Structure 1
Amino acid sequence: MKKVLLLAGLALAVVSAAHAKSGGAGTAQARATALTRIQATKARLDEGQYLKVKQLNIRMFSEMEDLKVRFAADPAILDERLAVAQVRYEIELTAIMRPAQLAMFQESRNSMTALSAPAH
């Protein structure tokens, strides 16, 4: 569960950084576009996959924003619902990518996670 939340946080951090760099509006659409571009580069998505992943990312960001508003008063439920949404997102993303693309994407994500992990 912690790994899923870490990956969700990492994805949001990457998108936030890209968003801050672009200076664009904070919409789910803009953040989804930024994340999709990164994913397309890392996993070498074709045009059809790019469109599917972008729609998935828009839904994910919209759902996350909705959950944050609805469960702002209850952090435990918010964390649980965000984790469920993240797992559903991972399953749908996995269904869109071919195995080789998924391997490239996960390798890239794991290297980013390793870079952000605290040293022991």
Structure 2
Amino acid sequence: MKKIFTFLLLSAMIGTSQLAEAGSGDQTSPNARATQMVKQLAKKIQLSEGQYVKVRQLNLRLLNDVQAVKTQSAGDAAAIDQQLAELQSHYEWDLTAILGPRQMVAYNQSKADMMAMSVGK
């Protein structure tokens, strides 16, 4: 459940920052959101150009998968939670394959900081 909460929190924080920065309606497209997500991550950790492209593709796949889960399991909250947890697990596994050890430490620290901020509110 903690993983699900973390995943949803990260998604919500990214979505909130996107809405604040959105100048046009196109900012809500999966491509624009994937780009915004990778930009947010790049602010926290150093990404090479190759990593930037791979993480953006990974984010786009995640966004599409999340939308598919929400559409397919619309009435079943437990199924959505389980599938989102699986998606998060796969996302982090794939992210680990892209990022280096120091980058993963920075990513995990960023995630922990976001959790601490949300609990403190």
Q: What is the TM-score with the length of structure 2 in the denominator?
A: 0.90
For residues 10 and 74 of structure 1, the distance between their equivalents in structure 2, rounded to whole angstroms, comes to: 20
Counting only pairs closer than 5 Å after superposition, residues 104-119 of structure 1 correspond to structure 2 as 104-118=106-120
How many residue pairs align between the two structures? 118
* Structure 2: segments with no counterpart, 5+ residues: none
Residue number in structure 1 paired with 2:42: 40
Counting only pairs closer than 5 Å after superposition, residues 45-84 of structure 1 correspond to structure 2 as 45-84=47-86
Cα deviation digits, residues 60-112 of structure 1 (max 9, x gap): 00000011011002111111111111110010011110001111121122112
Matched position secondary structure for 2:47:
coil
Shift of 1:36: 0.5
Q: Percent of aligned pairs with the same residue?
A: 35
Shift of 1:3: 2.1
Shift of 1:52: 0.3
Structure having greater relative contact order (Cα 8 Å, sep ≥ 6): 2
* Structure 1: segments with no counterpart, 5+ residues: none
Matched position secondary structure for 1:73:
coil
The one-letter amino acid of 2:82's match is: E
Structure 1 runs of 4+ with >4 Å offset: none
Matched position secondary structure for 2:33:
helix
